Amino acid sequence: MSLPSYVGRPLALLFAIDVAVASAYVFLGWKWLSIPQTPLSIFGGVLGVVAGFRNASAYARWWEARTIWGAIVNNSRTFAREVLSMVHPAEGEACSEAEICETRQELITLQIAYVHALRNALRGSAPWKDLATLIPDAGIAPLRLHDNVPLAIQQRIASIIAECHRRGWIDDMRWAMLDRTLTNLMDCQGASERIKNTPMPRLYDVFIQLFIDLYCLLLPLGMVSSLKLLTPVGSTLVGFVFMVLDQLGRDLESPFENRANDIPLSAISRTIEINLRQQMGETDVPAPLAPVAGVLW
């Protein structure tokens, strides 16, 4: 990520203000621009503690999101393992092995579709391009009627498992195990949606940004008496630290927005798809996503 795209504009504005203050103080003799350094130092220390606490809270949200998606990876693998090892024809039932294999494949493919749909839902994008390669057109049409596409896909998975249980392909204990795995996945989805739909308190953001902006404006006034023409260097460096801390906290508090610092949902979804396809015995699987310009999306 380049500096201009992150804090470049406010930093350039701060540098211009620093130059104006230093020039006015040195060349125009405006000594009244200088303010005592001690109150400014205390203000900066308190602001650093507050900004650090806010960033710690934002990082906790980011790490919780990453933990949740780690659980989605594990539960997806578990679901595929359970389907492959637990779905078998009932004793005495006249069904072909091809029908059993088709049902297993459908369940695991729907799980892959579920992960892609959840990723798109959290990022606010349409899932249909990803789902088109996984679900037939006849299966996608009903999904378009749902606001929560991942939920609709999991409901379809649960219906197929219930039918397998009815036909005796899964006994009661194994049905309970599969249902528990689906419940864990739904808990992960709910936790992701909670983070997505519950931002940090807006006043929390507004006041911290206001205090940082005020502090950056006061910086050259507190430094000009000692640094003089070097004021733009010192003030801009200190202001840069606070601006980056503020922007970093804003990025971390919303980990599903598909930005450089967010959770790499695309890479995680691709990993799940590769793992599940290989569990089914497929060899022609997509390649893992590679970082783009040092960023894994």
pLDDT in the model for residue 168: 87
Q: Is residue 108 part of a domain?
A: yes
Evaluate whether residue 84 is within a structural domain: yes
b/e sequence 1-29, b meaning 16+ C-beta within 10 Å: eeeeebbeebbeebbebbbebbebbeeee
- The answer to whether residue 103 is domain-embedded is yes
Closest CA to 195 of 97, 77, 58: 58
Per-residue CA distances from 196 to 56, 89, 125, 184 (Å): 18, 42, 13, 18
> For the chain, how many residues are written?
297
Total domains present in the chain: 1
- In angstroms, the CA 180 to CA 176 distance is 6
Q: Residue 4: what pLDDT?
A: 45
64-103 residues labelled b (16+ CB within 10 A) or e (exposed)? ebeebbeebbebbbbbbebbbebbbbeeeeeeeeeeeeeb
203-209 CB contacts, 8 Å cutoff, 24+ apart: 204/54, 205/250, 208/50, 208/51, 208/54, 208/246, 208/249, 209/246
How far from chain centre, in Å, is Cα 23? 45
Q: Is residue 119 part of a domain?
A: yes
Residue 19 confidence (pLDDT): 93
Q: Is position 87 within any domain?
A: yes
Does a structural domain hold residue 241? no
* Residue range 132-150, pLDDT digits in tens: 999 999 999 999 999 999 9
Spans of the chain, pLDDT less than 50: 2-4
In a domain, 175, yes or no: yes
Alpha-carbon distance of 41 to 43, in angstroms, equals: 5
Residue reference for tokens 């793992």: 275
Domain that holds residue 273: 70-199+262-286
Neighbours of 160 (CB within 10 A): 15
Query: What are the structure tokens assigned to 215, written together?
Result: 């502090």
Measured distance CA(31)–CA(135) in Å, rounded = 73
Does a structural domain hold residue 149? yes
